[in-house]
Amino acid sequence: MMTAKEIRQAFLDFFAARGHDIVPSAPIVVKNDPTLMFNNAGMNQFKDYFLGNKTPKNPRIADTQKCMRVSGKHNDLEDVGVDTYHHTMFEMLGNWSISDYFKEEAIKWSWELLTDVYHLPKDRLYATVFEGDAKEGLPPAEVALREWRKLMPENHIIYGNKKDNFWEMGDSGPCGPCSEIHIDLRPDDERQAIPGEQLVNRDHPQVIEIWNNVFIQFNRKADGSLESLPAKHVDTGMGFERLVRAVQGKSSNYDTDVFMPIIERIAQITGVPYGKSEPTDIAIRVLADHIRAIVFTINDGQLPSNNGAGYVVRRILRRAVRYAFSTLQYKQPILFQLVPTVAAQFTDIFPEVQANQSFLQRVILEEENSFLRTLESGLRKVAQIEEQLKAQNSTHIDGNTAFELYDTYGFPADLTRLIAREKGLTIDETEFAVAMAAQKERARAAAKIETGDWHALNDQQSEFVGYDTLEAYTTVVKYREVAQKNKKQYQIVLAQTPFYGESGGQVGDTGTLQFGNQTIKVVDTKKKTTLSYW
């Protein structure tokens, strides 16, 4: 049986023998294209070639590209770990023709590689072709249909609509009709009962797409219209993890040697065996997937943060930590321990991961520790919410409560949705969006103020006692660090406070906080505070 490394190398060797330059992967994080946050397909780095803005040294190119699909048009996050074939980070094997060969050669070579090199059974393979779209003025893909008829029987060729067979990298940019190749990995008895052509593009976990031949002919403009490109190009993409699964004859991507070393390491660290329970298996698969996305995004220059691509990295990391904490009952940092295993997986193709291993572990450990400080308190808050809803005979979390989990406990919105879904609850998304928009407006008003995560020390509610007293013996409920103009400040929430915050034109109270022998001055936030409070 071919190993994952051999399968990857066989692809690159096949196209090198056909005159393709083998080029390095672009970084997974996109820094110079406002239409993309992450590289979500192999063609992204060749966008200027397709648009005619640049000319390659060789019009034939092949590579394996690090990709991520967790935001925007292409978003697979909710399926990761639950099914057997979606991932956040994945490799995309691809070959390109920049105004050189076109549909005939691309289809012929894809069939040759799959059947002669990887020896995939011909009777298990299916192809889709674009049926056309009258609204866009796009005709059916007659050339692709003709070429596939040379290679497979008619009942293995399926027409697909614009959603399935017209590929676009985003809301704008190069695009065109595509011809996908699917494989039916079901047992023979199931195949005899239901023909594979009835399950193509029907989300069957064993009838999956492995390769997409895209024929770049158009540019989607910002106004949504299509314009023909001056030349035609080929852009193919084959999901490496799915290909390995097909070649190795597995029923899941996670059962291949791409993921099993990571899964085995997770099981070793947590003491939770893989393959014994569906909930723990899902958690282990999520960790095995997410650590790869975390490692590659950080390695390619994107540190976790509270906005943009950095926040996507933080979201993924916190989602993984929560699965380890709640489902695997592992209450300590775990992701940083998986970095050496990930690095070892890619020494031959992406050796820079192993070179940066120590740095990656430090960054990930710091992020894990930060979230673990608030995670337990946040989960207790969720339990309280659940009890309150039961008492009210309701299953609906209001948006402001969901926003509190985000703002106070560092729960990304999709993590709250995931937890809610597990408990049979729903969230008022509209109200949550309003609360989020209000926070963004406050952030804009307080320009260049960077706030850290809240560190919740207990679950008490803050009570104002300033109408009756000017002093209070109390405790800290939560705190966070605030940075403005290179100065560190802290915001503190007290269980009881005599301080009246600025409101209705009244200036906020000033005074002191006494912690043992230490006295901290409290001044109005509008007057260069060293500390603000609630």
**Ordered DSSP codes for 414-430:** HHHHHHHHHTT-EE-HH
Closest alpha carbon to 220 in 288, 140, 162, 146: 162
Q: Given a cut of 70, is residue 73 above it in pLDDT?
A: no
Amino acid of residue 395: T
More confident residue, 83 or 288: 288
Q: What domain range is 515 assigned to?
A: 451-533
More confident residue, 156 or 53: 156
Closest alpha carbon to 15 in 214, 242, 176, 236: 236
**Number of neighbouring beta carbons within 10 Å of residue 199:** 19
3-class secondary structure, 45: helix
Final residue belonging to a domain, choices 255, 288, 318: 255
Instruction: Give residue 78's pLDDT.
Output: 77
Instruction: Give residue 71's pLDDT.
Output: 58
Residues 288, 205, single domain; the answer is no
437: burial class by Cβ within 10 Å (0-12, 13-18, 19+)?
exposed
Instruction: Give residue 34's pLDDT.
Output: 74
Q: Note the Cα 458 to chain centre separation in Å.
A: 32
pLDDT, mean of residues 409-426? 87
Q: Which residues contact 195 (CB under 8 A, 6 or more apart)?
A: 155
Closest alpha carbon to 70 in 46, 25, 37: 37
Residues 111, 71, single domain; the answer is yes
Q: Given a cut of 60, is residue 46 above it in pLDDT?
A: yes
More confident residue, 489 or 262: 262
pLDDT, mean of residues 500-525? 74
Final residue belonging to a domain, choices 211, 228, 255: 255
Q: Given a cut of 90, is residue 449 above it in pLDDT?
A: no
Distance CA 345, CA 221 (A): 40
Query: Residue 528's pLDDT band (boundaries 50, 70, 90)?
Result: very low
Q: Given a cut of 70, is residue 307 above it in pLDDT?
A: yes
Instruction: Please indicate, yes or no, if residue 519 is contained in any of the structural domains.
Output: yes
Closest alpha carbon to 20 in 46, 48, 41, 44: 46
Distance CA 104, CA 235 (A): 13
Of the candidate ranges 66-70, 172-176, 408-412, 499-503, the one whose mean pLDDT is the lowest: 499-503
**Partners of 133 in the beta sheet?**
138
Structure-block tokens of residue 228 = 């023909």
Residues 460, 529, single domain; the answer is yes
Q: Given a cut of 50, is residue 69 above it in pLDDT?
A: yes
Q: Given a cut of 60, is residue 525 above it in pLDDT?
A: no
Residues 462, 358, single domain; the answer is no
Residues 359, 308, single domain; the answer is yes
Instruction: Please indicate, yes or no, if residue 384 is contained in any of the structural domains.
Output: no
Answer for the pair 226, 199: CB distance below 8 angstroms, yes or no.
no
Q: Given a cut of 50, is residue 402 above it in pLDDT?
A: yes
Instruction: Please indicate, yes or no, if residue 375 is contained in any of the structural domains.
Output: no
Q: What is the pTM of this model?
A: 0.78
Residues 188, 314, single domain; the answer is no
Q: Given a cut of 60, is residue 74 above it in pLDDT?
A: no
pLDDT, mean of residues 463-476? 86
Instruction: Give residue 293's pLDDT.
Output: 96
Of the candidate ranges 22-26, 245-249, 268-272, 397-401, the one whose mean pLDDT is the lowest: 397-401
pLDDT, mean of residues 470-478? 88
Q: Which residues contact 64 (CB under 8 A, 6 or more apart)?
A: 8, 11, 12, 25, 42, 91, 92, 93, 94, 240, 349
Final residue belonging to a domain, choices 344, 368, 392: 368
Query: Residue 482's pLDDT band (boundaries 50, 70, 90)?
Result: confident
Instruction: Give residue 389's pLDDT.
Output: 92
Structure-block tokens of residue 444 = 């804009």
Q: Given a cut of 90, is residue 457 above it in pLDDT?
A: no
Q: Is the dihedral of CA 470, 476, 478, 482 positive or negative?
A: positive
Instruction: Please indicate, yes or no, if residue 434 is contained in any of the structural domains.
Output: no
Query: Residue 439's pLDDT band (boundaries 50, 70, 90)?
Result: confident
Max CA separation in the chain (angstroms): 89
Q: Given a cut of 80, is residue 33 above it in pLDDT?
A: no
Answer for the pair 118, 7: CB distance below 8 angstroms, yes or no.
yes
Query: Residue 9's pLDDT band (boundaries 50, 70, 90)?
Result: very high
More confident residue, 121 or 40: 121
Where is 334: in which H helix or E strand?
none
Query: Residue 506's pLDDT band (boundaries 50, 70, 90)?
Result: low
Instruction: Give residue 76's pLDDT.
Output: 64
Residues 318, 216, single domain; the answer is no
Range 311-325 burial, b when 16+ CB lie within 10 A, else e: ebbbbbbbbbbbbbb
pLDDT, mean of residues 151-159? 96
Extract long-range pairs of 145-152: CB within 8 Å, 24+ residues apart. 147/103, 147/104, 147/107, 147/108, 148/107, 148/179, 151/107, 151/108, 151/111, 151/127, 152/122, 152/125, 152/126, 152/127
Where is 302: in which H helix or E strand?
none
Residues 297, 344, single domain; the answer is yes
Instruction: Please indicate, yes or no, if residue 413 is contained in any of the structural domains.
Output: no
Instruction: Give residue 366's pLDDT.
Output: 95
**Partners of 433 in the beta sheet?**
none
Q: What's the number of domains the chain is made of?
A: 3
Residues 69, 128, single domain; the answer is yes
Query: Residue 527's pLDDT band (boundaries 50, 70, 90)?
Result: very low
Amino acid of residue 286: V
Q: What is the dihedral of CA 514, 518, 520, 521, to 10 degrees?
A: 90
Q: Given a cut of 80, is residue 169 above it in pLDDT?
A: no
Q: What does pLDDT average to over the chain?
A: 89
Q: Given a cut of 90, is residue 470 above it in pLDDT?
A: no
Q: What is the pLDDT of residues 189-243, one digit of tens each?
A: 999 999 999 999 998 999 999 999 999 999 898 888 999 988 899 999 999 999 9
**Checking DSSP bridges between strand 463-464 and strand 74-75, what pairing results, if any?**
unpaired
Instruction: Give residue 505's pLDDT.
Output: 47
Residues 277, 344, single domain; the answer is yes
Residues 239, 350, single domain; the answer is no
More confident residue, 62 or 308: 62
Residues 316, 248, single domain; the answer is no
**Partners of 455 in the beta sheet?**
479
Structure-block tokens of residue 310 = 């950095």
Instruction: Please indicate, yes or no, if residue 403 is contained in any of the structural domains.
Output: no
More confident residue, 477 or 448: 477
Instruction: Please indicate, yes or no, if residue 126 is contained in any of the structural domains.
Output: yes
Q: Given a cut of 80, is residue 450 above it in pLDDT?
A: no
Instruction: Please indicate, yes or no, if residue 491 is contained in any of the structural domains.
Output: yes
